[in-house]
Amino acid sequence: MADRATLIIGLLWALTIIAVIVVATRFAVQHKFGGLFAEDWLMLAAMVMQLIDMGFLSKSSSWGLGKHDRDMTPEQLINAGKWAWLYMIPGCFVAVLARVSGGVFLIRLFGIHEWLKRYLIVFTVLQAIGGMLVLLTNFLAITPIEALWDPTITDKRARYSPQVASITAYTTQSLFTMADLTYVLFPSIIIWNLHLNIKKKIGIILLMCTSLITMAVSIMKAITLAKVSGVAEPAYMSSLSALWAGLEQTLVIIMASVPALSAITKLNLGFRRMTSSIAKSLNLSGGRTGNDSKGSKFTDSSAGSMAGMKPARYQDLEKNSFGSHNNRRSNQVTGSPFGTTVAYYDESNEMVPLKSAAPVRVRRTDEYTVEYDPRS
- pTM of the predicted model, to two decimals? 0.65
> 252 and 120, same structural domain?
yes
Q: What is the predicted pLDDT for the residue at 299? A: 42
Contact present, 81 and 149 (Cβ < 8 Å): yes
SS3 313: strand
| Rounded Cα–Cα distance for residues 2 and 65 (Å) | 8
> 338 and 219, same structural domain?
no
Element containing residue 344 per DSSP (H, E): strand 341-345
> 241 and 111, same structural domain?
yes
Contact present, 179 and 212 (Cβ < 8 Å): no
- Enter the DSSP assignment of 265: G
> 223 and 190, same structural domain?
yes
| Rounded Cα–Cα distance for residues 13 and 323 (Å) | 48
| Rounded Cα–Cα distance for residues 112 and 263 (Å) | 21
Q: What is the predicted pLDDT for the residue at 229? A: 60
| Rounded Cα–Cα distance for residues 369 and 21 (Å) | 37
Among residues 176, 255, 178, 173, which one has the least CA distance to residue 213?
255
Cβ neighbourhood burial of 320 (10 Å; 0-12, 13-18, 19+):
exposed
SS3 141: coil
SS3 290: coil
Q: What is the predicted pLDDT for the residue at 154? A: 83
Q: Check which CATH number belongs to the domain holding 143 and give it.
A: 1.20.1070
Segments forming the whole domain that contains residue 127? 3-266
> 178 and 35, same structural domain?
yes
The domain boundary residue, chosen from 251, 266, 281: 266
The domain boundary residue, chosen from 266, 297, 326: 266
> 167 and 45, same structural domain?
yes
> 257 and 362, same structural domain?
no
The domain boundary residue, chosen from 216, 245, 266: 266
> 127 and 93, same structural domain?
yes
Q: How does pLDDT run along the chain (376 residues), one tens digit per residue? A: 445 778 889 999 999 999 999 999 999 888 887 788 899 999 999 999 999 999 999 998 888 888 887 888 888 888 888 998 899 999 999 999 999 998 998 898 888 889 999 999 999 999 999 999 999 998 998 889 888 888 888 888 888 888 898 899 889 988 988 888 898 888 888 888 888 888 888 887 887 787 788 888 888 887 777 666 656 677 777 788 888 889 999 999 998 888 777 666 555 444 444 444 444 554 544 444 444 444 444 444 444 443 444 444 434 443 333 334 444 444 444 333 333 344 444 445 444 444 444 455 555 445 555 555 555 5
Query: Based on C-alpha coordinates, what's the Rg of the chain?
Result: 30
Q: How many CB atoms lie within 10 A of CB 318?
A: 17
> 57 and 165, same structural domain?
yes
Number of domains in the chain: 2
Residue 368, φ and ψ in degrees, nearest 5? -105, 145
Cβ-proximal residues to 353 (8 Å cutoff; 6+ apart), any chain: none
Q: What is the predicted pLDDT for the residue at 218? A: 83
